[in-house]
Amino acid sequence: MRLKSFILFSFIIALSFSCKKKTSDTDAIVAALTISNVSYGASAQQNMDVYLPANRSVAATKLIIMIHGGGWTSGDKADFAQIVDTLKRRLPEYAIININYRLSANPNNLFPTQENDVKAAVQFILGKTDAYLISNKYVIVGASAGGHLAMLQAYKNSTVKPGAVVSFFGISDMAAMYNSPVGGNPLISLSVAAAVGKTPAQDPALYASSSPINYINAASAIPTIFFHGGADPLVGPAQSTVARDKLLSVGVAAQYVLYASGGHGDWNAATYTDAFNKVEAFIKMYN
């Protein structure tokens, strides 16, 4: 009787330890998590979508911050939905944060509101590394006006420097964008002035402080890959090449990819596949 009781007791103890170990192992697994419309400011437009991978950690999980385009006056983080999915497949170990910012279509939100919002968003994100279980090693990806904002944040405003910048047909020189529009199109100049609120002649200092190219130096510059369409009707390829050349002149890595027949992002599938092959390789090299 005593022997049976001892065996039963031993079995219960063993089962108890087994259950505790199993529970502990399960608790250690960190699940993937998506958090939509996280606010980083008082405006409804100051929000972001957060995509956190499984098994992430502060020590190992790197980050991609994404900034949409739209001429500073329009656009939404939803415009990047397909690209978010592409990056999640290609770089599944990365966290991705896709941000919105206040648009200059509202006259109260003229530039540099967008620059300031990106700066605030990045500061918010870097303050959440413990909560999100991500590191402070990050890259910034932007398209068109978002490429401009990505470069401006990286070269001018980053206290924690990104490892790399990815600019899809971004603007590096705001005065040149106004003074030398593609094809001499005056509507481009008008759209730039509408976003800024003034012309370069009216406020040269604002245009200078809003141009990423003016912040490229050996101490501040970040490795950058530029993509541009040779037939872009809105942002000329020179906006990428002048920034590339200045980065190289100060000894900072830069890569320029021209798709000769490409427009302003209206590229075919093969072109985008090639572009993201290069994006993936560049991010892995520098971040």
pLDDT of residue 15: 42
Q: Tens place of pLDDT for every residue, the chain, 287 residues? A: 444 444 444 444 444 444 444 433 334 589 999 999 999 999 999 999 999 999 999 999 999 999 999 999 999 999 999 999 999 999 999 999 999 999 999 999 999 999 999 999 999 999 999 999 999 999 999 999 999 999 999 999 999 999 999 999 999 999 999 999 999 999 999 999 999 999 999 999 999 999 999 999 999 999 999 999 999 999 999 999 999 999 999 999 999 999 999 999 999 999 999 999 999 999 999 99
User: Radius of gyration over alpha carbons of the chain, in Å?
Assistant: 24
pLDDT of residue 28: 56
In terms of Cα–Cα distance, which of 126, 163, 136, 165 is closest to 61?
136
Burial 54-63 (b: 16+ CB within 10 A, else e): eebeeeebbb
The pTM assigned to this predicted structure is: 0.90
Distance CA 192, CA 217 (A): 26
